[in-house]
């Protein structure tokens, strides 16, 4: 198979980032290039047009490669639901939800898991010129070697060379490279290149380190990629965005993201980074809310557990006080469910030990969990009296159904696929929706933010075109690949049979 695999010395070394860069750089060279990650563990998923789930990172890479995302690009998605449970998504559909402590995963990976991965690789080989494969974590986890199906086993299955990437910004990159290579054993010979990622400062000051690592390992350093802070590519998971986004604008709007234990799909907030007057902070203490203008409660893989956490920690009380004092609150999916009056789970789908829990009571709605899982792309229009009606689109992933208990004090937020979705009161000061990617809709995001700006008597801002910013970021990544990496060498690796 013609392609390369990008592995890292650690999590968050930049594997997804570089895979995205290679996908756009190669697409610009007129190659039909396909991204691939055999198994992804993340609660940030993407929904395809046919209602199938896959890892969001591969969806981003597909977009960079100018392709429609498809589940063969990420045939296995593991979605942690609770401390001891993970949902296995196989080719986009729920396969099972086993206990993490059992031998089930071993039997799955060595059975239907690897079989599905092989079929996906065969499909890609028959339909594309090149493949860019992303590994997971580190390939040097020797306790996992016997059953892993995401690092060196996949390099062997696809018979592709490996590029090892390390995070310079984190420190200890030389030792991490040497240590990783030492632990790889026979698979070390597959490593044909090294990339130092996230370098800050004068790259010429790093030349001695490059020469040393090449001399010591006898492996070519493909390049040193600088820290590209202005390239706005979606983070794969919360590991990359938990620090928030600070802003020094005098008229800044401060938005808090409620930190909950089982957060999912928190990439919903990423378009807020594109606004030049928005600051994002993560709020998990009573005092955090006093400095905020708005709060977003994100999605969750366990609504009842996280609602219980909000009550027990005092954050629920803080949120009610915040709203009573004039703050804006927005809930997405599980966050929307938590804004309601009650959450019922008679069948134990979300939590077998807690059948019902009181919500925040800020929206006149109630939620009941059902066995059927809703997974689909949706589109529709905003329902907001006094505002123009504009198009919105995104996707839904949820268990449960949320219905209003009163209609005299608010209205649905959207009409999606011909049905009402979400609810809003007090001129959108408190609102919620099942629509993931809601803030990726430029018109709605601008409307909501301008309501907050108006309340603070700040100037309203024009609509920001996020698609244009994303496209510029992909092109900047491709340019950086050619500016800082030996792409001629990468192309030679890609074309090896």
Domain 3-232+471-495 matching CATH 1.10.443.10: the answer reads no
Range scoring the smallest mean pLDDT among 36-50, 84-98, 129-143, 393-407: 84-98
Write a three-state SS string for 334-374: HHHHHHCCEEECCCCCCCCCCCEEECCCCCCEEEEEEEEEE
| Domain 253-458 falls under CATH 3.40.50.880 | yes
332's tokens: 């997405």
Does the pLDDT value for residue 428 go beyond 90? yes
Using an 8 Å Cβ cutoff, are 44 and 81 in contact?
no
Q: Is the pLDDT of residue 385 over 80?
A: no
CA 304/CA 308 separation, integer angstroms:
6
Distance (Å, whole) CA 229 – CA 454:
30
Is a pLDDT exceeding 80 seen at residue 83? no
Query: What average pLDDT does range 126-134 have in this prediction?
Result: 97
Question: How far apart (Å, rounded) are the C-alpha atoms in residues 56 and 260?
Answer: 20
Angle, CA of 51, 475 and 487, to the nearest 5°: 105
Catalytic residues: 333, 436
Whether 239 has a pLDDT exceeding 50, the answer reads: no
Q: Look at strands 365-382 and 414-416 and give their pairing.
A: antiparallel
Q: Where are the domains of the chain?
A: 3-232+471-495, 253-458
34-51 burial, b for 16+ CB within 10 Å, e for fewer?
Answer: bbbbbbbbbbbbbbbeee
What pLDDT sits at residue 390? 85
Q: What is the pLDDT of residue 246?
A: 65
**Among 36-50, 131-145, 378-392, which stretch is predicted with the lowest mean pLDDT?**
378-392
Residue 45: pLDDT over 70: yes
Angle at 47 between CA 43 and CA 50, to 5 degrees: 150
- Give the model's pLDDT for residue 33: 97
pLDDT for the residue 237? 55
pLDDT tens-place string over residues 319-343 = 999 999 999 999 999 999 999 999 9
Give CB contacts under 8 A, 24+ apart, made by 175-182. Answer: 176/9, 176/10, 177/9, 177/213, 177/217, 178/213, 178/216, 178/217, 179/9, 179/140, 180/9, 180/138, 180/139, 180/140, 181/217, 181/219
């Amino acid at each position: 198979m013609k392609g390369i695999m990008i592995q890292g010395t650690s999590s968050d070394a930049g594997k997804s980032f570089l895979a995205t860069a290679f996908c756009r750089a190669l697409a610009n060279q007129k190659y039909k290039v396909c991204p691939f990650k055999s198994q992804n563990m993340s609660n940030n998923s993407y929904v395809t047009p046919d209602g199938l789930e896959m890892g969001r990172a591969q969806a981003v890479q597909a977009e960079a490669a100018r392709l429609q995302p498809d589940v063969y690009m990420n045939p296995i998605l593991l979605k942690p639901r609770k401390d001891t449970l993970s949902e296995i998504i196989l080719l986009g559909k729920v396969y099972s939800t086993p206990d993490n402590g059992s031998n089930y995963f071993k039997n799955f990976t060595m059975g239907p898991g690897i079989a599905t991965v092989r079929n996906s690789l065969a499909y890609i080989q028959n339909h594309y010129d090149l493949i860019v494969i992303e590994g997971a974590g580190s390939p040097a986890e020797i306790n996992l070697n016997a059953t892993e199906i995401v690092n060196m086993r996949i390099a062997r299955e696809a018979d592709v060379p490996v590029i090892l990437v390390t995070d310079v910004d984190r420190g200890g990159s030389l030792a991490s490279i040497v240590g990783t290579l030492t632990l790889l054993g026979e698979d070390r010979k597959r490593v044909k290149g090294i990339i130092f990622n996230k370098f800050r400062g004068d790259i010429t000051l790093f030349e001695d380190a490059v020469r040393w690592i090449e001399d010591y390992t006898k492996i070519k350093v493909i390049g040193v990629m600088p820290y590209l802070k202005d390239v706005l590519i979606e983070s794969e998971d919360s590991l990359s965005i938990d620090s928030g986004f600070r802003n020094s604008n005098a008229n800044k709007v401060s938005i808090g993201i409620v930190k909950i234990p089982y957060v999912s799909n928190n990439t919903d907030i990423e378009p807020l980074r594109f606004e030049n007057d928005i600051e994002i902070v993560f709020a998990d203490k009573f005092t955090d809310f006093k400095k905020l203008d708005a709060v977003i409660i994100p999605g969750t893989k366990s609504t009842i557990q996280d609602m219980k956490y909000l009550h027990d920690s005092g954050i629920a009380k803080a949120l009610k006080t915040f709203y009573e004092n004039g703050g804006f609150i927005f809930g997405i999916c599980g966050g929307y469910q938590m804004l309601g009056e009650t959450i019922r789970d008679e069948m134990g789908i979300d939590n077998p030990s807690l059948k019902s829990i009181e919500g925040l009571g800020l929206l006149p709605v109630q939620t009941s969990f059902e066995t059927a899982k809703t997974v689909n792309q949706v589109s529709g229009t905003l329902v907001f009296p006094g505002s123009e009606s504009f198009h919105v689109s995104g996707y839904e992933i949820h268990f449960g159904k949320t219905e209003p208990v009163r209609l005299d004090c608010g209205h649905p937020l959207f009409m999606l696929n011909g049905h009402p979705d979400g609810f809003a009161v007090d001129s959108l000061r408190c609102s919620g929706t099942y629509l993931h990617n809601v803030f990726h809709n430029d018109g709605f995001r601008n409307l909501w933010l301008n309501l907050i700006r108006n309340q603070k008597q700040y100037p309203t801002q024009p609509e920001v075109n996020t698609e244009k910013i994303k496209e510029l970021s992909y092109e900047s990544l491709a340019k950086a690949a050619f500016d800082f990496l030996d792409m001629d060498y990468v192309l030679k690796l890609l074309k090896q049979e």
